[in-house]
Structure 1
Amino acid sequence: MMQWIEGEAPLREALAGITDHYTLDTEFMRERTFWPQLALVQIGIPAAVEGEPPLVLLVDPLQSGVHETLRSLFERDDLLAVVHSPSEDWVALRENIGAIPRHTFDTQQAAAMLGMGGGMSYLKLIETTLGVALEKGEQRSDWLRRPLTDSQKIYAAADVSYLLDAYAVLAPQLAAKGYTDWFAEDMAYALEQARADRLETWPHLSLRGSGLLNIPQQQVLHRLLTWREQRARQNNLPRTWVLANDAALELARAQPQSEADLRRVLEKMPKAPLKIAGILQSVVSKPLPDEADLPDARLYEQRDKQRLKDLQVAVKQVSDAHGFSDSFLASRRWIESWMDTGEWLGLLAGWRRSVLEPVFTGAATPVAGSDS
């Protein structure tokens, strides 16, 4: 059953039926903004009678009182939210509602841990776990328009109604393999990261082409990208609308010494932001306090490639032994992070360290096993 919710009172009444877990998804628009514009919140509530279909709430977050009610739901410590690949949903909910759920079960991560495939789409997950083929339908629809069409509502409801059955398939399989605690640790880490909204410390490292710049050029790029992030957030604009990647790289290469020099660089580029040339020159010429610690992007592109390959092979062997999907245990980015620092940071600091440390340090050969 599907129910359209437009206000606080009907939402509170409907949410009273949640006793243990619920499914959650959102629809949002982000093409012209930095922060996603929340347009719809879908909640699936298990039926009180076994065998009955779930109740699906299509909640209009544009209505008054709805945000406070949803925030109360998300802040309950006794409920589990079942979701699928929710990183973008967390941003939308955090910035629009002011809260994200305390406990979650990500079906995409569960499928990867169980070896079904990494980065599995929702459609593929439902087909794999339940044998149901869903239509792509309204993926690129305008979710901010009102009223929504029947087709939009049906599509949105499907995003949460089938998740309940998928959860019922995946959770017991994780428990049978002894992975429940490891999975819970991953979920807690993901939620911590989503709540923190930490800025990237060294944005130049993730920009293709930075490894071709010398240190003074990388410092200029670091200044530009740091400023761009701040301006995009403050003005709620996409990063590349503030300053395109290629423009940032060209300015970093040129290291303009005056506004006239900077303008000459920008004039060679289509749609260059000439109106803010003075601001950009100020950014380019002003060192940041952390530049002394700036990591050299050239070194990051000149890693010991054989060592990286050997570690990737070792991770693959451990993953196969545990039945994980490729890159679930440690992506190339996380392996490179360990190579660069020698430290067990972020996602590698928890249960993964106990699994990977013996093979990363060459002290042991990967063997099959579980967390039990």
Structure 2
Amino acid sequence: MPLINTPNELETLVNRALDAPCVGIDTEFVWEQTYYPRLGIIQVGLSENDCHLIDAVTLSDLSPLGTLLSDPHTVKILHDAQQDLWILRRITDAIPCNIFDTRCAAGFAGLSSNLSLGNLLRMRLNIQLPKTETRTDWLRRPLSDKQLEYALDDVRFLPALREHILTDIQRRGRENWLAEELRQYDIAKLYDDRAPEEQYTRVKGTGRLSRRDMAIVRELAAWREKKARQVDRPRNRVISDDAIVQIARRKPQSIQSLKRVRGIARATINQYGNSLLNTVQRGLAIDEKNCPPISLPVRPDPFEDARLDLAMAFMRGQCLSEGIDIAMVASRSEVKEFISSQKNATDNPLHTGWRREFLGADLTALLTGKHAIGINPNTRLPNLLRDKP
């Protein structure tokens, strides 16, 4: 199959896709030596026998895809959608709309929300996808017939898979909950790059640093983020987390002292040494009250742990009984936060939307002593007793 590699061909495909009720979309990219992924192929599947490959290497203007991406009428089906949508948002500047994520939907249909597309197709449609081209360099040309078929298979069955899963969810009466969850993909800020000044929270190995050290880490992480974007290199290829932590500890004042910091390559010092020293000075100049807070060790609370274990047991029982993946509902840390915020509702997911309807309200009743928990003799699962004994 030839790749779509001219503006006219792309426009024709987009117009056809806009007339379809739903289309499958996927991307193939290379993301090893650069800050941003380099897009190689975009797959668009209108049906099992009507699939197309867009050559993202040859086509310099992919903005027509933005019309499809933001169209409120045509459903765009993706598996594990966020990364693909982030990439497509970058190249089209369009805000996605009307997205169906098969990975997310599986979590409302009695399946894990972490299944790969291959496993989901095998379990629901008895289709086995080949795994022979997982290490393909999608930027190289020409691509082999096997590589092209592999790419097409990633969208070929998405419309049928959506229909199958959606029918199951409708039978369970969960379509409104799924629709609410999928609306997250319509929010523009989901695709925004994180501010450089916030990147310090992702630096590993900062557990024993002081607030002053963390101020330097914040400045270094922000500098690294801006530089990585500028030169289009992975963050750790500019400077590693370990080097940032070591610099924050030692606070070098000269190139010679910088050379004594463990983990910094000589080439990095030659290229960025003065910038690193200036960044350290900015961190040292920050007023103490504006330095990042540090997390102090929290003493174990056996009473809170007991409440958390009770809440988790109830949540697991409800999820198993209703066929909803517990990972879709809340993490253990979110449940812990929910317990501690009973008297002061926050933006915790269990306080709002379908999660509150499914679990949050009952969990509140359990934790405030209005109801009790027992074992259902039929399901042998934890179950809420509406009338407390």
Asked if the contact 2:40/2:138 (under 8 Å) is kept, the reply is: yes
In the other structure, the counterpart of 2:325 is: 325
Rounded Cα–Cα distance in structure 2 between residues aligned with 1:251 and 1:230: 18
Look up the SS of the partner of 1:159 in the other structure: helix
Look up the SS of the partner of 1:297 in the other structure: coil
1:346-368: CA deviation from partner (whole Å, max 9, x where unpaired) = 75554324432552681356868
Asked if the contact 1:11/1:66 (under 8 Å) is kept, the reply is: no
1:63, distance to aligned residue in structure 2 (A): 3.7
1:152, distance to aligned residue in structure 2 (A): 0.9
Pick from 295, 298, 318 the counterpart of residue 297 of structure 1: 295
Counting aligned pairs with the same residue, the percent is: 27
- Aligned-partner residue type, residue 9 of structure 2: P
Asked if the contact 2:169/2:175 (under 8 Å) is kept, the reply is: yes
1:293, distance to aligned residue in structure 2 (A): 7.0
Aligned counterparts, 1:36-55, within 5 A: 36-46=37-47, 53-55=48-50
1:307-335: CA deviation from partner (whole Å, max 9, x where unpaired) = 65555444433423432223221124544
1:15, distance to aligned residue in structure 2 (A): 3.6
1:189, distance to aligned residue in structure 2 (A): 1.3
Structure 2 residue runs without a partner (length 5+): 374-382, 385-389
In the other structure, the counterpart of 2:5 is: 6
Aligned counterparts, 1:157-196, within 5 A: 157-192=152-187, 193-196=189-192
1:149, distance to aligned residue in structure 2 (A): 1.0
- Aligned-partner residue type, residue 179 of structure 2: A
1:87-110: CA deviation from partner (whole Å, max 9, x where unpaired) = 221222122222253111100111
1:209, distance to aligned residue in structure 2 (A): 2.5
- Aligned-partner residue type, residue 285 of structure 1: Q
Asked if the contact 2:14/2:64 (under 8 Å) is kept, the reply is: no
1:174-206: CA deviation from partner (whole Å, max 9, x where unpaired) = 222222122122222134243333438644444
Pick from 126, 137, 140 the counterpart of residue 121 of structure 2: 126
- Aligned-partner residue type, residue 38 of structure 2: Q
| 1:351 aligns to 2:346 (yes or no) | no
103-112 or 209-218: bigger deviation:
209-218
Rounded Cα–Cα distance in structure 2 between residues aligned with 1:310 and 1:271: 54
Going from structure 1 to structure 2, the CA distance change for 1:344 and 1:315 (only over 3 Å counts) comes to: farther
Asked if the contact 1:106/1:187 (under 8 Å) is kept, the reply is: yes
In the other structure, the counterpart of 2:133 is: 138
TM, length-normalised to structure 1: 0.84
Aligned counterparts, 1:1-372, within 5 A: 4-18=3-17, 19-46=20-47, 53-64=48-59, 67-192=62-187, 193-199=189-195, 202-266=198-262, 269=264, 273-275=268-270, 276-287=272-283, 292=290, 294-299=292-297, 306=305, 309=309, 311-332=311-332, 334-335=334-335, 344-345=346-347, 349-354=352-357, 355-356=359-360, 358-359=362-363, 362-363=367-368
Look up the SS of the partner of 1:129 in the other structure: helix
Rounded Cα–Cα distance in structure 2 between residues aligned with 1:190 and 1:146: 33
1:259-299: CA deviation from partner (whole Å, max 9, x where unpaired) = 44333114x55577212122112212214689737342345
Going from structure 1 to structure 2, the CA distance change for 1:124 and 1:236 (only over 3 Å counts) comes to: same
Going from structure 1 to structure 2, the CA distance change for 1:280 and 1:182 (only over 3 Å counts) comes to: same
TM, length-normalised to structure 2: 0.81
Rounded Cα–Cα distance in structure 2 between residues aligned with 1:8 and 1:257: 54
Asked if the contact 2:205/2:242 (under 8 Å) is kept, the reply is: no
Asked if the contact 2:252/2:258 (under 8 Å) is kept, the reply is: yes
- Aligned-partner residue type, residue 192 of structure 2: A
Aligned Cα RMSD in Å?
3.1
- Aligned-partner residue type, residue 345 of structure 1: D
15-24 or 80-89: bigger deviation:
15-24
Number of aligned residues? 359
Asked if the contact 1:35/1:236 (under 8 Å) is kept, the reply is: yes
1:219, distance to aligned residue in structure 2 (A): 2.3
Look up the SS of the partner of 2:355 in the other structure: helix
1:240, distance to aligned residue in structure 2 (A): 0.8
Going from structure 1 to structure 2, the CA distance change for 1:297 and 1:190 (only over 3 Å counts) comes to: farther
Going from structure 1 to structure 2, the CA distance change for 1:15 and 1:290 (only over 3 Å counts) comes to: farther
Rounded Cα–Cα distance in structure 2 between residues aligned with 1:147 and 1:278: 44
Structure 1 residue runs without a partner (length 5+): 47-52
- Aligned-partner residue type, residue 185 of structure 2: A
Rounded Cα–Cα distance in structure 1 between residues aligned with 2:69 and 2:349: 24
Asked if the contact 1:81/1:105 (under 8 Å) is kept, the reply is: yes
Asked if the contact 1:228/1:243 (under 8 Å) is kept, the reply is: yes
- Aligned-partner residue type, residue 290 of structure 2: A
Going from structure 1 to structure 2, the CA distance change for 1:56 and 1:283 (only over 3 Å counts) comes to: same
